Chains A and B, each alone.
Chain A
Amino acid sequence: MNAKPIVFVAIALAVVAALWFFFKPQREELPVADSAKVAAAGGPPAMGAPAGGPAPTTQARHDETFELQIKGGRPVGGPVLLQVHEGEQVTLNIKSDGTDELHLHGYDLHAHITPDQTTTLQFNASHTGHFGLELHKARTELGALEVYPQ
């Protein structure tokens, strides 16, 4: 029986394992390089949103609250890309100048929004992935929720 292919496969597996352990970091980092800009974006200052400094890269799991502002069916305040870790409690406070229906894909959550009243949507980020956030009536994309694994 030809041992050569087996030897090579064994070496290949060893190489793959070695590289995996070399590259894998200790803890998962949120790719939040740009969210500093996201939070500090122009327009009316987002109330209560993460301040203009670098977004949290600490690994402490905590609850996240995001303030979103909608004017004329468009997002005008608050971060558009909501990045959280799996398992965190997420709260969205939405202020709008019109009536609409907010829909979070994947989680399939709906929130009815009325003018001059802060609507709150609370849920546990139990599914990882990238989920679009949209307004049904205005048919616009508000942004997205990204839930990263632990």
Chain B
Amino acid sequence: MDRLIRGLIGAALLSLSGAVLAHSMGVVYNLPIPFWMYAFAASTALILSFLIVGYFVTAQGAARNFRTIDVDVPRIAAGGAALRALRAFSVFILLVTILAGLFGPANPFANFSMTFFWVIFVLGFNYLTALIGDVYALINPWRVICDWIEKRRPGTFSARFAYPSWLGYYPALALYMGFIWLELFGQAPPRGLATVMLLYSVITIVGAALFGRDAWFRYGELFAVFLRLIGKIAPFEYRLDLPPGTPGRLRLRQPFIGLLQEPADHFSLLLFVLFMLSSTAFDGVHETRPWVLVFWKGIYPALSALSAKPYLFFVDFYYYWQWAMLFVSPFVYLAIYLLFVWIMKIVTDSKRTVRDLALQFAFSLIPIAFVYNITHYYTLLVAQGPAIITMISDPFGIGWNLFGTARWNLSPIILLADGVWHTQVGLILFGHIVSVYLAHVQALELFPRGKQGIWSQFPMLVLMVLLTTIGLRILSLPIAAGQVQDPLPTGSANPSITVAASGLPLMR
């Protein structure tokens, strides 16, 4: 009876590997980039990196271009009616998203909450932040809710505990890992997503009540931490939270230069940045054929030879292996990163510690992480994003037509593979060049003494070429949607294994 039940559960698991649930938002796979493109991009990254080094070598005192322009912002914008309206709207959208998730259609493609959260917010708003700066700090719906509560019940959010400095950004990092797990493996339907958002709201409000709003929204709220980092890319910095009476300020600066403004202030923030990189890399690789085969042709035969567990046990184990690889991924990147920082320390004979140097260069990795995110996900934004136009007219799927767009027939925009390849390669090269540039400016700042400055740049150069090459390589790997021939002869204990794009094997 027990075996029968396990068998049924296993069969249900296998049948759930349908394409619709492969990612939280359904499948949009890009064709792997052709190998020659990968070779071209990797070589170009390498050679251009040396060109940049050459530029810096011959540019004595290439001081940081920290020219900024401060613009006073009129009272209307700063803390005024417009900002208040935006903040209220932000909370309203959060509410609609949660309600639509709970009570709207169960089909993830038809539910407002799924498209709004995973596509419009996680992708669209993320990229928008890189363009216009960290506006999330101003309109964070959870922060707004806390502010409203504080107004009604003053003292609710006066910190009961001082935020421990050793805790750093680890809460945000833990939430980030949970978030990516949800995205890749949670297979949460709209109702599940809404439940998670409610839970997250509770965590946020409780965290702010315990440690105070400023501390929690700086160190603990996942999206606040994430978007604050992304906002450093933008040429705009907002100072609208000044004491009443002082005019608000908008600071204009060069794009990307915000990443050099300050080092990472905690080791956990370095890990956070590395997880930005590694989670996208993992998402790119975990459904490719070579990766999936690591388990089914490497680990599985070895384990099944050693143990008498039934096949279905290993299906479970395969899932847990994938999850473990996700959680381990930032530490792999950490090891690589620290190795090169250590080499840099040796080469420059610097008195600074490896940890200190690692924090100084942490943000220079963000451009690579960011473009890698875009290349991986932008086709989903383009394909599924426009659907929001119809959904806002009928967010709960009950027949409304608020803006007259509910009946519009918008077919998903599927970009041509050629254009996607060129865009991906172009973006990755661009991000790589920016990162190399930033690292070199940083190096010159830290090691200004002549030859030391030049030599200090090579370890970072190699590191970044390595990271970029890995990213490109992942883009070129075939997706696991083909049959895999088990090398063992027929009649053996191992049946031949077919691996679907979900990574789950289908029994013959």
Contacts and interface: CB of A to CB of B under 8 A. Distances in A.
Given A130-B30, A132-B501, A41 B40 contact: no
A143 B482 contact: yes
Interface string B483-495: 1010000100000
B490 A42 contact: yes
B262 interface: no
Interface string A63-105: 0000000000111100111000000000000000000000001
A108 B481 CA distance: 19
A81 B481 contact: yes
A108 B498 CA distance: 25
Given A15-B51, A19-B40, A76-B508, A148 B31 contact: yes
Contacts of A81: 481-483
Interface string A13-52: 0011001101111001101001101100111000000000
Contacts of B30: 129-130
Contacts of B289: 34
Given A128-B417, A134-B19, A16 B31 contact: no
B29 interface: yes
Interface stretch (B10-18, B203-211, B342-350, B447-455): B10-18
B485 A37 contact: yes
B36 A24 contact: yes
B414 A106 contact: yes
Contacts of A127: 414, 416
B257 to A, nearest CB: 15
A150 to B, nearest CB: 9
Nearest to B31: A130
B311 to A, nearest CB: 15
**B interface bracket (residues with beta carbon within 8 Å of A):** 35 or more
Contact of A29 (B18, B19, B34): B34
Contact of B32 (A31, A105, A106): A31
Interface stretch (B41-49, B156-164, B174-182, B299-307): B41-49
A149 B416 CA distance: 8
Contacts of B415: 129
A148 B20 CA distance: 23
Q: How large is the interface on A (under 10, 10 to 19, 20 to 34, 35 or more residues)?
A: 35 or more
B43 A23 contact: yes
B508 A141 contact: no
A144 B418 contact: no
Contacts of B479: 130, 144
B506 A79 contact: no
Contacts of A19: 40, 43-44, 47
Contacts of B34: 28-29, 31
Interface string B351-379: 00000000000000000000000000000
A140 B58 CA distance: 60
Contacts, number: 143
A147 to B, nearest CB: 7
B39 interface: yes
Nearest to B12: A139
Given A23-B43, A42-B496, A140-B506, A15 B48 contact: yes
Main secondary structure of the interface of A (DSSP, over half): mixed
Contacts of B58: 4
A57 B429 CA distance: 30
Contacts of A140: 14-15, 17-18, 500, 506
A25 B40 CA distance: 11
Contacts of A24: 36, 40
Contacts of B29: 129-132, 144
A132 B58 CA distance: 52
Interface in A115-138: 127-132, 134, 138
A30 to B, nearest CB: 10
Contacts of B15: 73, 138-140
Contacts of A20: 40, 44
A147 B30 CA distance: 11
B27 interface: yes
Contacts of A147: 417
B346 to A, nearest CB: 29
20 contacts: A4-B55, A8-B54, A8-B55, A15-B47, A16-B44, A16-B429, A23-B36, A31-B35, A35-B482, A37-B485, A41-B485, A41-B496, A74-B508, A80-B482, A127-B416, A128-B418, A140-B506, A143-B482, A144-B501, A148-B31
